[in-house]
Structure 1
Amino acid sequence: MAAPLLEKLSESLGSPEPAVRLILSILIGYLCALVYRRFLFYKSPTVIHLFHTFSGLALAAFNFGSQLCHSAICVLVQFLMLRLMGRTVTSVLSSFIFQMLYLLAGYYYTATEEYDIKWTMPHCVLTLKLIGLSLDYYDGGKDASQLSSEQKHSALSSVPSLLEVCGFSYFYGGFLVGPQFTLRNYQRLVGRELTDCPGKPPNSFIPALKRFGLGFVCVVIYTIFSPYYQDSYFLTDEYENQPFWYRCVFILLWAKFGLYKYVSCWVIAEGSCILAGLGYSGVVDGKHQWDGCANMKVWLFETTPLFGGTIASFNINTNAWAARHVFKRLRFLGNKTLSHVTTLFFLAIWHGLHSGYILCFSLEFFIITVERQAQALVRDSPLLTKLANSSLYPLIYVVQQFIHWLFMGYSLVPFCLFAYDKWLKVYSSVYFCGHLFFLVAFLIMPYLRKALVPKKERSQKKQE
């Protein structure tokens, strides 16, 4: 009965049925949060874990049918590793190798030339959760003096039960599209600690409603504009025959509206986490904060003229996970650049096996490197600093924003088109302008510093 209704709904919306199932599942998270608040908030942890487990499994079955077995296998294996291997490096490495190999095998056997909503989509979220769980359990065996403040907040003092791991893994607010959160935060939720009213359900209706409303606006924007900016258009003769400026502007608008697909899902999913209480992050300046599960800083995303600003505003919890569990744990390498490159390589492989992911994250590293050099140049040059603070800044901002979004879209082309022959065709059609722009900027930056930064400033920087 449900299948024909979903087919009709997807036809009327003009969206694929898997996408309709996904957005309905994210919305069902709000219903689950209401049930938890109304009927289960004061129940025992066992009852709450069971509710989170079975509601998450139901959503998995609704979206992926019998393929939910993949998540169940990985959750069970992870629990057995914690129990049998204890707080050891062997346990951490075994967890990392098993979970990543299982995910990559899933990518390999289900790969197509298009972006499909299949069981590997929530599984990549689960993979980070379970690897992070093994690391947090390992940290719990260290002396407190050896831990950073982040690690102290997430370290596990005892081995979790199977039911606890299942509830954490299948929690309806984060199972399908994220956000990432730690088992300790999940334990705080179940222990009724994440609330602005001690011992009572949180006053989170309004914050949750605001995120839902914002997410709905993003869905509307995506629904209206995305049909005009399809990935497939890049590969047509019509696109190839357009003027150069049109091809570039199309890339800019395609990326801008296409990213709302991710923004809307993350912001709406965050609302269900806030409603349940998981989004509560304490008090700052006398105000209760609900950004504990924020995966998007939408205002920053919309207004920043910097590539670094967009990265800081986008997929926040995944980036924070990578910083905490990969970048900072590579401190022993003694080289930040090497740690940064390794972290980006890990994220590229975690996204999938297509060559486009490697190229996208390679471009990210190169662009961020050039941008940081440019920021340092503006900061150290009296002339450029004065210009940046002058009445001309609004014009500079517009130009900078255009460059920012043009080359942000340029970087996303391989990420979304996946295959070598596809993204190469698009880059060839715009003459590799992004590669050339940042390569030239990188090469001339030392000469610009020499011309625009006083000798005294340059010598001070060298001494530092």
Structure 2
Amino acid sequence: MAAAEGGTGLMWSGLSLAKAAEALGSSEQALRLILSIFLGYPLALFQRYVLFQKEIYLIHLYDTITGLSIAYFNFGLQFFHSLLCVFIQFLILRLMGRTVTAVCTTFCFQMAYLMAGYYFTATEHYDIKWTMPHCVLTLKLIGLAMDYYDGGKDMESLSPDQQRYAVRGVPTLLEVSGFSYFYGAFMVGPQFPMGQYHKLVRGELTDVPGQRPNSFVPALNRLFLGLFFLALFTVASLYVSDEYLVSDNYLEQPFWFRCLYILVWGKVILYKYVTCWLVMEGVCILTGLGYNGKDENGKPKWDACANMKVWLFETTPFFTGTIASFNINTNAWVARYFFKRLKFLGNKLLSQGLSLLFLAVWHGLHCGYLVCFQMEFLIVLVERQLINLARDSPPLSALASVTVLRPLFYVLQQTVHLMFMGYSLVPFCLFTWEKWIKVYSSIYFLGHVLYFSLLFVLPYVRRVLVPRREKLKKAE
């Protein structure tokens, strides 16, 4: 009888959420995700005021139970996927030790499990399902295996980054679980290493040793900033949507309107990611996980878990600036555990290309991800050539230094930047070939035509505009 009543309660809870989501014009899964993200604040307050500098096993247990509860709330019994991968990862560390075999086994198993999840759950739309937090978990567990491997090496043979993140002790199952399920990062990130998590549970991540961190105000700042972007996205999405982008009405509009719509859509669509990361960053700051030491003036920094540099994201006219300001911790993870470890290839461009290929596959099996990151690689390559050309060419350098013209140049740069940022996001957000090829065809593959043309033309332009002495000076 009690079980029946409990089942009825869950059913009514689901119905209530479904009705609330319908009233808000959202899906039930999206509402569950939002509630889970904001739930991090009361959970962080409890950890901050009740568990600070208490027995470490209690904090691991708390993080594990709360993270599993969030997983169950969002995905039901499918939470077992993450539980299985965490347990197997613990066995790999214990049975294989600090070996290359353990690292390779971890990489192959965790990535294969994620790919299988993508394959069996794939649809033509962006769905909030168990693979969403699992992709975050996959990077976390692979990074743990690499840090554990580095922990067995001589310190002098490691790079400064490797020395900083190397795991010297042997993690227990409870440690690995708490690290994996920490409620402030389980659903949407950010990425952080096991060493940082150890400092958190030991109460070391504080600007006042032995006392709770003075992180309440910085955490609220990120929360309110996240709420601002949530409101911005909510209002803007009433007028800009994926559905309109693939509609016949969009195709009937003039060419200039189709380009302008992609520009605005690309900017708006990113605000949902900005919202999630800012809100979760606030949770991490509240617990102390966001503590990043002090600056030269002795002021505490709270950006260890920052996934966004908001001012740079909003103002940069460069594609490289957007990359540097967006999804920072994931990019740092790829740089630390993938890009830098490909140094043996002896080719920076090849390492960068392989890193972007890994990111594309990690995001999912849809061809749109590959097209998006291919376009990112191409645009960054051309943008760097253009920046070098403007710097090395005397006439272009003189023109760029004219104060009166700088606002005009900024507007032009920003327009091009936003247009082709949106252009790159089209396959990323629309996934399937039929959808994104329809949009690209409507603007005649403008981005591909422009940037591939520039890639081949710029070397010849450089020969004309850059004097020989400048080339020789650069070579020296």
Q: Which TM-score band (shorter chain)?
A: over 0.9
Match in the other structure for 2:9: none
Match in the other structure for 2:463: 450
How far 1:452 moved relative to its partner? 1.8
Q: Please state if 1:300 is matched with 2:312.
A: yes
Question: Is this contact kept in 2: 1:248–1:406, CA < 8 A?
Answer: yes
Code of the residue aligned with 2:461 in structure 1: it is: L
How far 1:195 moved relative to its partner? 0.2
Q: Secondary structure at the match of 1:288?
A: coil
Q: Please state if 1:134 is matched with 2:150.
A: no
Q: Please state if 1:101 is matched with 2:112.
A: yes
Q: Secondary structure at the match of 1:137?
A: helix
CA distance in structure 2 between the aligned counterparts of 1:122 and 1:98, rounded to whole angstroms: 17
CA distance in structure 2 between the aligned counterparts of 1:440 and 1:49, rounded to whole angstroms: 55
Q: Secondary structure at the match of 1:128?
A: helix
Question: Is this contact kept in 2: 1:215–1:268, CA < 8 A?
Answer: yes
How far 1:447 moved relative to its partner? 2.3
How far 1:193 moved relative to its partner? 0.8
Q: What is the aligned counterpart of 1:368 among 380, 384, 401?
A: 380
Code of the residue aligned with 1:142 in structure 2: it is: K
Q: What is the aligned counterpart of 1:244 among 237, 255, 258?
A: 255
Q: Please state if 1:289 is matched with 2:291.
A: no
Q: What is the aligned counterpart of 2:42 among 6, 10, 31?
A: 31
Match in the other structure for 1:385: 397
Q: What is the aligned counterpart of 2:411 among 374, 378, 398?
A: 398
Match in the other structure for 2:347: 335
Q: What is the aligned counterpart of 1:41 among 31, 52, 59?
A: 52
Q: Secondary structure at the match of 2:294?
A: strand
CA distance in structure 2 between the aligned counterparts of 1:152 and 1:424, rounded to whole angstroms: 46
CA distance in structure 1 between the aligned counterparts of 2:82 and 2:377, rounded to whole angstroms: 32
How far 1:32 moved relative to its partner? 0.6
Q: What is the aligned counterpart of 2:154 among 140, 143, 153?
A: 143
CA distance in structure 2 between the aligned counterparts of 1:455 and 1:334, rounded to whole angstroms: 29
Q: What is the aligned counterpart of 1:208 among 216, 219, 222?
A: 219
Render the CA deviation track for 1:313-357: whole Å, top value 9, x for unaligned: 000000000000000000011111111111111000000000000
Code of the residue aligned with 1:262 in structure 2: it is: Y
Match in the other structure for 2:329: 317
* Further displaced range: 435-444 or 264-273: 435-444
How far 1:311 moved relative to its partner? 0.4
Q: Please state if 1:279 is matched with 2:287.
A: no
Match in the other structure for 2:241: 230
How far 1:442 moved relative to its partner? 1.5
How far 1:6 moved relative to its partner? 1.2
Q: What is the aligned counterpart of 1:418 among 388, 410, 431?
A: 431
Match in the other structure for 1:7: 18
How far 1:384 moved relative to its partner? 1.7
How far 1:460 moved relative to its partner? 2.6
CA distance in structure 1 between the aligned counterparts of 2:213 and 2:399, rounded to whole angstroms: 48
Render the CA deviation track for 1:47-89: whole Å, top value 9, x for unaligned: 0000000000111011001000000000000000000000000
Question: Is this contact kept in 1: 2:53–2:202, CA < 8 A?
Answer: no
User: What TM-score results when the alignment is normalised by the length of structure 1?
Assistant: 0.99
Report percent identity of matched pairs. Answer: 60
Match in the other structure for 1:53: 64
* Further displaced range: 377-386 or 171-180: 377-386
How far 1:12 moved relative to its partner? 2.1
CA distance in structure 2 between the aligned counterparts of 1:149 and 1:83, rounded to whole angstroms: 26
Render the CA deviation track for 1:12-38: whole Å, top value 9, x for unaligned: 211111111101101110111000011
Render the CA deviation track for 1:196-225: whole Å, top value 9, x for unaligned: 010111000000000001000000000001
How far 1:400 moved relative to its partner? 0.4
Match in the other structure for 2:367: 355
Question: Is this contact kept in 1: 2:53–2:201, CA < 8 A?
Answer: no
Render the CA deviation track for 1:253-281: whole Å, top value 9, x for unaligned: 11111100100000000000000000000
- Unaligned stretches of 5+ in structure 2? 1-11
Code of the residue aligned with 2:193 in structure 1: it is: T
Match in the other structure for 1:174: 185
Q: Secondary structure at the match of 1:278?
A: coil
CA RMSD of aligned residues (A): 0.9
Code of the residue aligned with 2:90 in structure 1: it is: F
CA distance in structure 2 between the aligned counterparts of 1:151 and 1:40, rounded to whole angstroms: 30
Code of the residue aligned with 2:399 in structure 1: it is: L
Code of the residue aligned with 2:444 in structure 1: it is: Y
- Unaligned stretches of 5+ in structure 1? none
Aligned length: 463
Match in the other structure for 1:262: 273
Q: Which runs of 4+ in 1 moved over 6 A?
A: none
Match in the other structure for 1:196: 207
CA distance in structure 1 between the aligned counterparts of 2:288 and 2:97, rounded to whole angstroms: 31
How far 1:121 moved relative to its partner? 0.2
Question: Is this contact kept in 2: 1:294–1:317, CA < 8 A?
Answer: yes
How far 1:4 moved relative to its partner? 2.7
Render the CA deviation track for 1:277-305: whole Å, top value 9, x for unaligned: 00000001221000000001111000000
Code of the residue aligned with 1:441 in structure 2: it is: L
Question: Is this contact kept in 2: 1:387–1:393, CA < 8 A?
Answer: no
* Further displaced range: 210-219 or 415-424: 415-424
Render the CA deviation track for 1:359-404: whole Å, top value 9, x for unaligned: 1101111110000001111111122222222120110000100000
CA distance in structure 2 between the aligned counterparts of 1:148 and 1:277, rounded to whole angstroms: 26
CA distance in structure 2 between the aligned counterparts of 1:311 and 1:88, rounded to whole angstroms: 33
Q: Secondary structure at the match of 2:448?
A: helix
Q: Secondary structure at the match of 1:25?
A: helix
CA distance in structure 2 between the aligned counterparts of 1:8 and 1:422, rounded to whole angstroms: 30
How far 1:437 moved relative to its partner? 1.1
